[in-house]
């Protein structure tokens, strides 16, 4: 099981030897025969680059040339594919990727921030140079969701793409639920376990997941990638009480990404939502990712798996490398860059039911005042619960009939004037699946 001896090797230059980079090195070394047999040519690493050459790494790098500068690595004559595994959407990652593309070299990257911020420019640059840029690892790690959308579902008009695409947030939310622990405690636990990005707001602020959604939306709907148009909200305001109360009503809380084409343009949001507890998304526990895609012919498909970690992420990188070794050249976002539609400005969400949690002062007529504000904002109550309490304010939970996000905002703005609502209410959309 090996490639013909005379076959031209595909030579990789790997920039970044952290979790993902070392994972890629290990696969290339462990599966050399398998990769060669499947692609018909040897897949080899010729040169690598990282910040610290002296660092002890869990792989033998002695056979590879070392570069201190990623741009120099990208320009080497013995590198056919530049594999960018450094991270960050500016600096070395951007400069070296551009240098590789300008030199007509194919690029494989795991960098969702880079694609979300500069995807269109990079796609245009790649096409102009006759090169390709592949990024399966950038979205939902080991789940082959980019391939699913670009290849397997290419004959469908996509209706909606949804997903839980940040494992850290799903870990925090499910751990809060199962251990009955508050957000701050579980956040600290996640930090100790090394789950959080160096800047934790990338995770818990929804930014990392928003990058991934913007990339999927571009492919699914044929638009230029537009991260600026993603409505973002993190999980920092979700309390253990919200999780329990949503559970009482048959829901789970997820940091959920949704992209869909509406009459007003492309809607993209990454916000905490309630989903039915019995749905596949509702049953997703821990650090796992799930992407749900709805196409006009295929119906709904559900992809589930590891969104991060050495093995799963390197697996996705190698899938892209193998496409290149086999000579498969696909347009970056599923169609030529010039044909991608201009992004529409952020579009407000379609009507939905909402979960509202407020603390109501225990006074006669308090509930009536809240009901009046909701009524005046055009929000109709579907279900309501008041919880037992020991202090002067009672938690009240309201599920509304379908209403617009604007009506919910109007109601929330009206609550302070009632004099009976304490603190900031929490409003979460209930997503229909
Ligand atoms: N870790 C995961 O599970 C995961 C999952 C999906 C995507 N990604 C993406 O993969 C990429 C790499 O992530 P990671 O977790 O392996 O990161 P890491 O921090 O473990 O490793 C980064 C590597 O890049 C090198 N590097 C950084 N800046 C450099 C520079 N200017 N010049 C040369 N080398 C430089 C560092 O020395 C290090 O070897 C990121 O874009 C990340 O978002 C990671
Ligand atoms: N911080 C990300 C890593 C993978 O992109 C997550 O938690 O899913
Ligand atoms: Na993926």
Q: State pLDDT tens for residues 281-312.
A: 999 999 999 999 999 999 999 999 999 999 99
The number of the ligand nearest the C-alpha atom of 164 reads: 2
When pLDDT is cut at 50, 70 and 90, the band that residue 107 belongs to is very high
Q: Return the exposure string of 33-55: e unless at least 16 CB atoms fall within 10 Å of the residue's CB, then b.
A: eebbeebebbbbbbbbbbeeeee
When pLDDT is cut at 50, 70 and 90, the band that residue 392 belongs to is confident
Q: In the prediction, which pLDDT does 345 show? A: 81
Q: Was 55 annotated as part of a binding site?
A: no
Q: In the prediction, which pLDDT does 263 show? A: 84
Task: Tell how far CA 45 is from the center of its chain.
Answer: 29
Q: Return the exposure string of 189-215: e unless at least 16 CB atoms fall within 10 Å of the residue's CB, then b.
A: bbeeeebbeeebebbbbbbbbbbbbbb
Partner residues linked to 44 by β-bridges: 11
Mean pLDDT over residues 111-123, rounded? 98
Nearest to 213 by CA among 200, 197, 239, 232: 232
Instruction: Phi first, then psi: give them for residue 234, nearest 5 degrees.
Output: -85, -170
Q: In the prediction, which pLDDT does 4 show? A: 61
- Over 80: is that where the pLDDT of 1 sits? no
The number of the ligand nearest the C-alpha atom of 166 reads: 2
Mutation to probe ligand 1, out of 52, 67, 86 (largest number of atoms < 8 A from CB):
86
- Over 80: is that where the pLDDT of 359 sits? yes
Q: Return the exposure string of 370-380: e unless at least 16 CB atoms fall within 10 Å of the residue's CB, then b.
A: beebbeebebe
pLDDT of 220-261, one tens digit each? 999 999 999 999 999 999 999 999 999 988 999 999 999 999
Residues of the chain with CATH 3.30.70.260: 353-430
- Residue 208 CA, closest ligand 1 atom number: 43
Mean pLDDT over residues 169-188, rounded? 96
Q: In the prediction, which pLDDT does 305 show? A: 97
Q: How far, in Å, CA of 227 to CA of 343, rounded? A: 10
- Over 60: is that where the pLDDT of 351 sits? yes
Mean pLDDT over residues 379-387, rounded? 91
Q: What percent of the chain has pLDDT over 70?
A: 98
- Measured between alpha carbons, how far is residue 206 from residues 158, 245, 253, 287, 377 in Å? 24, 23, 14, 15, 29
Q: Was 197 annotated as part of a binding site?
A: yes
Q: Taking the model in full, what pTM does it have?
A: 0.95
Is the minimum distance from the CB of 313 to ligand 1 under 6 angstroms? yes
Does domain 10-138 match CATH 3.30.1370.60? no
Mutation to probe ligand 1, out of 83, 85, 118, 316 (largest number of atoms < 8 A from CB):
85
**In this structure, are strands 106-109 and 133-134 parallel, antiparallel, or unpaired?**
parallel
Instruction: Phi first, then psi: give them for residue 260, nearest 5 degrees.
Output: -155, 155
When pLDDT is cut at 50, 70 and 90, the band that residue 83 belongs to is very high
- Over 70: is that where the pLDDT of 5 sits? no
Residues of the chain with CATH 3.30.360.10: 150-306
Mean pLDDT over residues 27-39, rounded? 98
Q: Map tokens 């196409």 to a residue.
A: 295
CATH assignment, 150-306: 3.30.360.10
Give the list of residues 6+ apart from residue 143 with CB closer than 8 angstroms, or none: 289, 291, 303, 304, 305, 306, 307, 316
* Across 78-92, 233-247, 335-349, least confident range: 335-349
Ligand 3 ion: nearby residues, β-carbon < 5 Å: 136, 139-140, 143, 145, 316
Nearest to 314 by CA among 27, 112, 42: 27
pLDDT of 139-151, one tens digit each? 999 999 999 999 9
Expressed in angstroms and rounded, the spacing between residue 138 Cα and the centre of ligand 2 is 9
Contact in structure between 163 and 289 (CB atoms under 8 Å)? yes
Residues of the chain with CATH 3.40.50.720: 10-138
Q: Which two tokens stand for residue 273?
A: 């939502």
Contact in structure between 384 and 397 (CB atoms under 8 Å)? yes
pLDDT, averaged across the chain: 95
Contact in structure between 214 and 116 (CB atoms under 8 Å)? yes
Nearest to 170 by CA among 309, 272, 20: 272
- Over 70: is that where the pLDDT of 137 sits? yes
Nearest to 113 by CA among 227, 201, 22: 227
CATH assignment, 353-430: 3.30.70.260
Tally Cβ neighbours within 10 Å of residue 392: 11
Instruction: Phi first, then psi: give them for residue 179, nearest 5 degrees.
Output: -95, -5
């Amino acid at each position: 099981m090996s490639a013909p001896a005379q076959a031209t090797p595909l030579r990789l230059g790997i920039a970044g030897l952290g979790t993902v980079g070392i994972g890629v090195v290990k696969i290339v070394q462990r599966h050399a025969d398998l990769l060669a047999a499947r692609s018909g040519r040897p897949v080899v690493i010729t040169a690598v680059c990282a910040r610290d050459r002296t660092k002890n790494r869990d792989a033998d790098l002695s056979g590879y040339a070392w570069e201190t500068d990623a741009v120099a690595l990208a320009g080497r004559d013995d590198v056919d594919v530049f594999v960018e595994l450094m991270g960050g959407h500016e600096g070395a990652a951007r400069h070296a990727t551009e240098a590789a593309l300008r030199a007509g070299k194919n690029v494989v990257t795991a960098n969702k921030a880079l694609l979300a911020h500069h995807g269109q420019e990079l796609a245009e640059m790649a096409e102009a140079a006759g090169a390709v840029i592949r990024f399966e690892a950038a979205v939902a790690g080991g789940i082959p969701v980019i391939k699913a959308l670009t290849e397997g579902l290419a004959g469908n008009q996509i209706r909606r793409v949804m997903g839980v695409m940040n494992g850290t947030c799903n870990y925090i939310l499910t751990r809060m639920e199962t251990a009955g622990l508050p957000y701050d405690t579980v956040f600290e636990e996640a930090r100790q376990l090394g789950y959080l990005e160096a800047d934790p707001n990338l995770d818990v602020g929804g930014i990392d997941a928003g990058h991934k959604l913007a990339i999927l939306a571009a492919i699914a709907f044929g638009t230029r990638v537009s991260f600026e148009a993603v409505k973002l909200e993190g999980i920092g305001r979700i309390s253990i009480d919200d999780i329990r109360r949503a559970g009482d009503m048959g829901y789970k809380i997820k940091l959920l990404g949704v992209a869909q084409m509406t009459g007003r343009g492309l809607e993209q949001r990454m916000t905490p939502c309630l989903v039915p507890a019995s749905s596949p998304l509702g049953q997703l526990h821990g650090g796992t990712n799930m992407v749900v895609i709805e196409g006009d012919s295929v119906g709904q498909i559900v992809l589930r798996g590891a969104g991060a970690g050495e093995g799963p992420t390197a697996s996705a990188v190698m899938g892209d490398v193998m496409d290149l070794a086999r000579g498969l050249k696909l347009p970056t976002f599923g169609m030529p860059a010039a044909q991608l539609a201009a992004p529409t400005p952020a579009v407000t969400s379609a009507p939905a039911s909402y979960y509202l949690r407020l603390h109501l002062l225990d006074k006669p007529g308090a509930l009536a005042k809240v009901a009046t504000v909701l009524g005046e904002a055009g929000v109709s109550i579907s279900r309501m619960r008041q919880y037992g309490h020991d202090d002067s304010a009672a938690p009240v939970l309201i599920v509304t009939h379908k209403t617009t996000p604007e009506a919910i905002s109007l109601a929330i703005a009206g609550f302070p004037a009632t004099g009976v609502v304490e603190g900031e209410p929490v409003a979460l959309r209930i997503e229909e699946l």
